[in-house]
Structure 1
Amino acid sequence: MIKRELIYFLTAVMFFTRIPIPFKVPYSSEIMNKSQKYFPLIGYIVGAMSVLVYICASYLFSKEIAIVLSIIGTVLLTGAFHEDGFTDICDSFGGGYGKEKIMTIMKDSRIGAYGVIGIVLLLLLKFLALVELAHLSTSLLLITMINGHVTSRFAAATAIYTHKYVRDTDDSKSKPMAQQKPSYTSLLCSLILTIIPYILFDSWLFIIPFFVCYLGKMYLTMYFKKHIGGYTGDCLGTIQQVCEVLFYLTTLTLWKFM
């Protein structure tokens, strides 16, 4: 049983990060589907990278430069996996009218003006929010980085339970996950993994950013359902990126004005 769960976890690591696995891990649609319970753990890995880079860089540079380097570290670790999905959504929904046109643009690997503008604004907003958090409290910044990465991935994963997958191409990376909805036991496992840092930080205020993220996920999935009938892998990446920023902004607002 432990070996099987380890395979599920390593599958999630290989899917969402560039971390090399030194041995061969079996793959199937069923394994990919069951690996979803460990998506929050990917948030821990990416969040830990962000924290580690920030701490190391802050000994040499200003807080602002350290935050930029921490963001670069997470992008390199994930291969800009979710950022790429966000740019595709900006391009397809910004330049497409009707489901067929939107889906056609979404499949195009080229990036357009909407995608460039969208990702620049998103990263700028993420940077400025983290800078303000850093000036409030270093410990608050570090726990928010981890919570933001974990919670946003949990929020994105819940869309698999609540909405229909609509992209039907065989080369889609998210298709194996969407072929069969995972059990609600897996969802409960993901939720437990997500709330661990909330308990460790011992502050009830973090429950508010959690729900704000989920509300953001609900709005985005309703928007996607209205225009294309469900979600795609790019939609999940967009949910993760937007919810991460929502988490930072909500946390900043709470600690700044309360």
Structure 2
Amino acid sequence: MTLAPGAVVIGAVHQLRLFFVALQFLTRLPVPRWVGYQPDWLNQSARHLPLVGGLVGALGALVLCGAAMWWSPLVAALIALAASLLLTGAFHEDGLADSVDALGGAVSRERALQIMKDSRIGSYGAAALVLALAGRAVLWATLVARDPALAAAALLLSAAWGRSAAVALMARLAYAGDAEHAKAKPLAQSVTSVELGWAGAWSLAAAGVASLAWPAARLGAAAVAAALVVVFMQRWLTRRLGGYTGDTLGATEQLTELAVLLALTANVGVA
């Protein structure tokens, strides 16, 4: 069946609208006023989270490579990291800290969910946050010192796949928190095969861009690392919470980014 030109245009506009909704949800970048908002659009916009992640990674890479022309690799990495945090409002980092605070100790499911709602940060969360930020800074510095093109591709890929991992987790688990009081209530709904398919397509697109700089074997290692994070988080969250929360999605994104970067920079017998 052939779609009418009008239907194609309407569909394209809707996808653009969903992209802007995802952009507004994950970053502080402004979006056009005509986008509007409906509650179900946020759930549908999960399909474009990897695309937004790729954009965040690309902007971070631009700052990293530009700063490396003036400062040392580590200073450039810190500047790029600060720019990325400003761009996203430390959205995922907050989720990582809250998740580790809640799940790092031997507490009940109910108590863990209460800890995630607490705005204060504990020792577990602070340690995890410092390690994650330091890890990204060192890995970015290592990459840009080796080759700016490799660094740019790695930042784009890790950021896109980090968001893809969060979408995959939403598709595999039920929401574990209080949906009525969730920070993003529509995202507490199930992710459909449509959203998962779109997210997978954007992940492949990110891999295609990264393949311009990285060999297939190294990208394969990064894909395995990302998949292992998703499997680990699925089992851990199933055992501890019976599902995911918004904070654990942020933790999944952060851990996946680190895993991909570590796989790309590992000194092993992979080209």
Correspondence 1:54-69 to 2 at 5 A = 54-69=64-79
CA contact (8 A) 1:212 1:246 kept: yes
Correspondence 1:20-59 to 2 at 5 A = 20-59=30-69
CA contact (8 A) 1:174 1:232 kept: no
Residue 230 of structure 1 aligns to a residue whose secondary structure is: coil
Question: Cα RMSD over matched residues?
Answer: 1.7
Say whether 1:193 aligns with 2:202. Answer: yes
Q: State the Cα deviation string for residues 90-143 of structure 1 (Å, max 9, x = none).
A: 111124511011111111111111111110011112222222222332211111
Q: State the Cα deviation string for residues 206-240 of structure 1 (Å, max 9, x = none).
A: 02201211111110121011011110000100000
CA contact (8 A) 1:96 1:102 kept: no
Say whether 1:18 aligns with 2:11. Answer: no
Q: Which residue of 2 aligns with 1:219?
A: 232
- TM-score (ref. length: structure 2): 0.89
Which whole-Å CA distance do the structure 2 matches of 1:211 and 1:254 have between them?
A: 16
Q: Which residue of 2 aligns with 1:249?
A: 262
Which whole-Å CA distance do the structure 2 matches of 1:112 and 1:169 have between them?
A: 25
Which whole-Å CA distance do the structure 1 matches of 2:105 and 2:162 have between them?
A: 26
Displacement of 1:178 in angstroms is 2.5
Q: Which residue of 1 aligns with 2:98?
A: 88
CA contact (8 A) 1:96 1:105 kept: no
CA contact (8 A) 1:87 1:111 kept: yes
Say whether 1:204 aligns with 2:216. Answer: yes
Say whether 1:235 aligns with 2:258. Answer: no
Which whole-Å CA distance do the structure 1 matches of 2:92 and 2:34 have between them?
A: 25
Q: Cα gap change, 1:217/1:180 in structure 2, threshold over 3 Å: closer, same or farther? A: closer
Structure 1: any 5+ residue segments left out of the alignment? Answer: none
Paired amino acid for 1:219? F
Residue 87 of structure 1 aligns to a residue whose secondary structure is: helix
Displacement of 1:29 in angstroms is 2.8
Displacement of 1:77 in angstroms is 0.5
- After TM superposition, the structure 1 stretch with the greater mean CA deviation from structure 2, 216-225 or 165-174, is 165-174
Which whole-Å CA distance do the structure 2 matches of 1:87 and 1:256 have between them?
A: 34
Paired amino acid for 1:82? H
Fraction of identical pairs, as percent? 30
Which whole-Å CA distance do the structure 2 matches of 1:159 and 1:174 have between them?
A: 16
CA contact (8 A) 1:133 1:140 kept: yes
Residue 82 of structure 1 aligns to a residue whose secondary structure is: helix
Say whether 1:137 aligns with 2:147. Answer: yes
Structure 1 runs (4+) deviating above 6 angstroms are none
Structure 2: any 5+ residue segments left out of the alignment? Answer: 1-10
CA contact (8 A) 2:162 2:257 kept: yes
Which residue of the other structure, out of 91, 109, 112, is the alignment partner of 1:102?
112
Paired amino acid for 2:262? L
Q: Cα gap change, 1:255/1:95 in structure 2, threshold over 3 Å: closer, same or farther? A: closer
- TM-score (ref. length: structure 1): 0.94
CA contact (8 A) 2:159 2:257 kept: yes
Aligned residues: 257
